[in-house]
Structure 1
Amino acid sequence: MSAHGAPSIAIDGAGKTVDIVASMWHTEVMDGLVAGALRAVEAAGATARVIRVPGAFELPVVAEKLARGGAEAIVCLGVVVRGDTPHFDYVCEAVTRGLTDVARTHAVAVGFGVLTTDNDAQALARAGLQGSQEDKGAETVAAALATAAVLASLDV
C-alpha cells in the first residue's frame, strides 16, 4: 500500500474552514472518503463545508471558484477507475493539471484526494470504510491543513 512511509501529521485547524469538494461517482467509495475527511476536520478543530460535483472532472473548476473567493484549504475528493478506453487517462491528467494550476495560481492549499485505481477493490481499500486499509479522505485533509499552515507562516 502507498501509506508505507507516510508522515504522522498533527494539525491545529482551529479557526480554519476546509472546503471539501467531492465527486458523486462511485457512491460507496465517495461516502467513505467524505466521512473520513469530515472526521479529520473535526479532529483538527476546524469546520467543514461539503460541496458535491458530478464527477472528478468538475473538481478543478469548483476549486478555482473557491480559491478566488479566498478559501484557506480546499480538499478535492474523487474516484477514477480505469476502464477499457483511454478516458481514464484524459480525466486523470485534466484533474491533476487543473488542481495543480489552482494551487499554484492562488497559492492555496489544495488537497489531492482523487483515487486513480485500476479497479473498484483498490478504491474501496483506500476509502476509509470498515475493512479499508487506508483512509485517503482523512489523509487529504491533514495534508491540506498542514500546507495551509505552512503557507500562512511564510512572510514573503
Structure 2
Amino acid sequence: MSSSLKNLSDFSHLEVGNAEGLKFAIVVAQWNAQVTGALLDGAVTGLLKHGTQENNIEVVRVPGSYELVSGADIVLRDSSFDGVICLGCVIQGETRHFDFICDAVANGVANVAIKYNKPVIFGVLTTDNLQQALDRSGGIHGNKGEEAAITAIQMALVSQRFPAV
C-alpha cells in the first residue's frame, strides 16, 4: 500500500514502554508555526499517553529549525533530562537553503546526542510543500510529533538499561 493512502503514525505493533518518571524537553521551532504547533501537540499527547507526568515535560521555543541544535544543547546543560525532542519544519523552496538547513539540523541533532550521551530526537519535517507538512502533523499521515515522542521514550528506556559508567 502506498504511504499516500495510510496513517504512518500507527504504533499498535510497538512495545513503547512506560514513561513514568522520565523527564523530557521538547525544543520546537516557531517558524512554520501552524505545522510545528501541531507537532508539539502530538509530542505532548504521546508523552502523556505513555505515562510522562505533565510537570516532567519542558517546552522550549526557538526561532527556527536551525536553532533546534543550539536549543537542545542549551537544554541538556540540565542533566536531569532523559531526552530531548526537536520539532521543526523545513519546506523546500526555490533555492538550496533547504538542503543546507536540513543537513545542518540533522547532523547537529546527532552531534548533541553524542556530546551528552542522551537521546536527542529528530522530529523535523523536510517536505516539498506545506500540504505534505500538514499531512504529517496531524493530517492523513498521522503526527510525526507523536512519533518523535514514542522514539524519545523508547530511547530513554534503552539508555536507562545501559547507563554510562
TM-score (norm 2): 0.87
| 2:88 pairs with 1:111 | no
Q: Which amino acid aligns with 2:158?
A: V
User: For residues 35-73 of structure 1, what are the alpha-carbon distances to aligned partners after superposition, in whole Å with 9 as ceiling and x for unaligned?
Assistant: 101101111111311111000000001111222321211
Whole-angstrom distance in 1 between the partners of 2:97 and 2:120: 24
Q: Tell me which of 136, 139, 163 is aligned to 1:126.
A: 136
User: RMSD of the alignment, in Å?
Assistant: 1.8
C-alpha distance 24-5 of structure 1, shift in aligned 2 (>3 A): closer
The 5 A counterparts of 1:6-155 are 8-46=14-52, 47-70=56-79, 71-128=81-138, 131-155=139-163
Q: Which amino acid aligns with 2:136?
A: R
Whole-angstrom distance in 2 between the partners of 1:50 and 1:150: 23
Q: Which amino acid aligns with 2:63?
A: P
Count of aligned residue pairs for this structure pair: 154
User: For residues 58-114 of structure 1, what are the alpha-carbon distances to aligned partners after superposition, in whole Å with 9 as ceiling and x for unaligned?
Assistant: 000111122232121100000000000010011001101110001112110111100
Identity of aligned residues (%): 36
C-alpha distance 146-55 of structure 1, shift in aligned 2 (>3 A): same
Whole-angstrom distance in 2 between the partners of 1:85 and 1:8: 39
Whole-angstrom distance in 1 between the partners of 2:27 and 2:140: 22
Q: Which amino acid aligns with 2:31?
A: W
| Aligned-partner SS, 2:48 | helix
Q: What stretches of structure 1 of length at least 5 have no aligned partner?
A: none
Shift of 1:9: 3.9
| Aligned-partner SS, 1:101 | helix
| Aligned-partner SS, 2:70 | helix
Structure with bigger RCO (C-alpha 8 Å, 6+ apart): 2
